[in-house]
Amino acid sequence: MRHLTVAHAGCDDATVQKLVLVAALFREHGLAIEIVPWQDSHTDIVVTDPADPFGQQITTLAARQGIPALIVRLAEEDEADHSFVVGRKCPAFDYFLALERVILATAVPRHPGMGGGIRNAVHSHSIVAGGFDEMS
């Protein structure tokens, strides 16, 4: 099974619960995603809510450091160029699709030597489209 670490920052409890559910869905398809609070350590992807001051700080940090980010916003149309966006009140399946887009779009290792890295965890097409085929 492939592994990714997804850290969250500034997210409310409902968002974190959706991320945990999304991780369970990915696990069913051979991708183990560990959902953890941001701790300024290795993460493959960060999920932030910039409406929260800490979430905004980590959103900025992720952009500077090139960490793939999924941004949670009150409205999806507030999309920033450097990120992927999901609406805060969207159902868990929308979070699944958004996280899947981030994973597929950023299929490069961000932290060599730490964890599996995205390249080792990602596959060539989406689960929704019919399953993941491993990238070589």
Tens of pLDDT, residues 39-72: 987 899 999 999 999 999 999 999 999 999 999 9
Q: Which residues neighbour 5 within 8 Å (Cβ) at sequence distance 6 or greater?
A: 33, 34, 36, 42, 43, 44, 45, 115
Classify residue 129: in a domain, yes or no: no
The per-residue pLDDT of the chain, averaged, comes to: 80
Classify residue 126: in a domain, yes or no: no
Classify residue 15: in a domain, yes or no: yes
Q: How far apart are CA 34 and CA 37, in angstroms?
A: 10
Classify residue 131: in a domain, yes or no: no
Each residue of 70-125: pLDDT tens digit?
999 986 555 554 458 999 999 999 999 999 999 998 874 544 433 444 444 444 34
Classify residue 135: in a domain, yes or no: no
Domain enclosing residue 96, as ranges: 2-121
Residues recorded for the chain = 136
Give how far Cα 105 sits from Cα of 13, 57, 100, Å: 27, 23, 8
3-state helix, strand, coil in the chain (%, to 5): 35, 20, 45
Classify residue 94: in a domain, yes or no: yes
Has residue 132 got a pLDDT over 80? no
Residue 88's Cβ-count burial label (10 Å; 0-12, 13-18, 19+) is middle
Q: Would you tell me how many other CB atoms lie within 10 Å of the CB of residue 53?
A: 9
Classify residue 53: in a domain, yes or no: yes
Q: Which helix (H) or strand (E) holds 24?
A: helix 13-27
Name the percent of the chain lying above pLDDT 70: 71
How many independent structural domains does the chain possess?
A: 1
Classify residue 128: in a domain, yes or no: no
Return the CATH number at 97: 3.40.50.2300
- Asked if 133 contacts 125 with a C-beta cutoff of 8 angstroms, the reply is yes
Highest mean pLDDT among 29-33, 104-108, 124-128: 29-33
- Asked if 11 contacts 47 with a C-beta cutoff of 8 angstroms, the reply is yes
